[in-house]
Structure 1
Amino acid sequence: MIELSKAEFEVLDAVWLDYPATASQVIERLSDDKEWHEKTIKTLLSRLVKKGALSFEKQGRLYNYTPCIAREEYTLKESQSFVERFFNGRIAPLVSGFAKSEQLSQNDIDELKKVINDWEKQQK
């Protein structure tokens, strides 16, 4: 799995919004939330290419960046890694912790029930 820093993930997330994307487009997407210098973002784009998270195609003076991994695939692997490291691979203690701290909304609970019900139907 590709290991990304928080900043690298944020840049990759900006590319996932709509790609291929030029460095200028990524800079524009991040400018509302971040006060990063444009050179910082270009450095992060280069790191993501070196790590294999992005590919690029040069068109004249522009580089068009495209993700090499789907957002859903990356977040699933990160989620699995997180649960494995902090909860010994068990999801129940994670959900229980949120429930005990009252951080689960009714919508969250309804979604979890639906996921469990759908999973149980598939097991039959």
Structure 2
Amino acid sequence: MIGQVSDSELELMKIIWNEGGKALYARIMDALEETGNHWQKNTVITLLSRLVEKGLLKTNKIGRRNEYMAIVTEADYQAAQTKTLLDKLYEGDAKGLVSTLIQREMLTSMDYEDLKKFWEGGGGIDERDT
């Protein structure tokens, strides 16, 4: 089972996923800087260590540098968290979730058309927004 992570841990996972599933510590720090996050070295190391403990990352030593590799894909993490949300808020009722998305206008007409095509087997879902 894939557990939940904090928002800060998720931010680090997204960096690693965006780097093709693995990233050197220095690249992670650069990516944080690029997004305006000026986290301290100890904070980042602590968060990465927690992700290793939670089984989402593993480390590989390359000389004196650490490379962090995702054990869990972004798609698998999203699926696990969606299932948790569905079970927790909707008692496993996917129709309830979709109904909320439609009623609260969180699903655009374009999203609906893409899903309809997918459901009817006419092609994949357009991933421009995901």
Query: Normalized against structure 2, the TM-score is what?
Result: 0.81
Deviation (angstroms), 1:33: 4.4
**1:122 corresponds to:** none
Instruction: Supply the distance in 1 between the matched residues of 2:28 and 2:15 (Cα, whole angstroms).
Output: 6
Deviation (angstroms), 1:49: 1.1
**1:115 corresponds to:** 118
What whole-Å deviation, never above 9, does each CA across 1:88-121 have from its counterpart, x for those lacking one? 1111111111211222212211122123223xxx
Deviation (angstroms), 1:15: 0.6
Count of residue pairs brought into register by the alignment: 119
* Identical pairs, percent: 30
Instruction: Kindly provide the amino acid, as one letter, of the partner of residue 17 in structure 2.
Output: W
Query: Normalized against structure 1, the TM-score is what?
Result: 0.85
Instruction: Supply the distance in 2 between the matched residues of 1:63 and 1:52 (Cα, whole angstroms).
Output: 17
Give structure 1 stretches of 5+ with no counterpart. 119-124
Instruction: Supply the distance in 1 between the matched residues of 2:67 and 2:47 (Cα, whole angstroms).
Output: 14
3-state secondary structure, aligned to 1:34: coil
**After the TM superposition, which residues 2-81 of structure 1 pair with which residues of structure 2 at under 5 Å, given as runs?**
2-3=2-3, 4-18=5-19, 19-31=21-33, 32-81=35-84
Give structure 2 stretches of 5+ with no counterpart. 122-130
Q: Which has the higher helix share?
A: 1
What whole-Å deviation, never above 9, does each CA across 1:13-59 have from its counterpart, x for those lacking one? 11111143111111111221434223211211111111111111112
**2:125 corresponds to:** none
Instruction: Supply the distance in 1 between the matched residues of 2:39 and 2:117 (Cα, whole angstroms).
Output: 41
Instruction: Supply the distance in 1 between the matched residues of 2:55 and 2:12 (Cα, whole angstroms).
Output: 14
3-state secondary structure, aligned to 1:102: coil
Instruction: Supply the distance in 2 between the matched residues of 1:61 and 1:54 (Cα, whole angstroms).
Output: 18
In structure 2, which of residues 90, 93, 97 is the aligned counterpart of residue 90 of structure 1?
93
**1:121 corresponds to:** none
> Stretches of 4+ moved more than 3 A in 1?
none
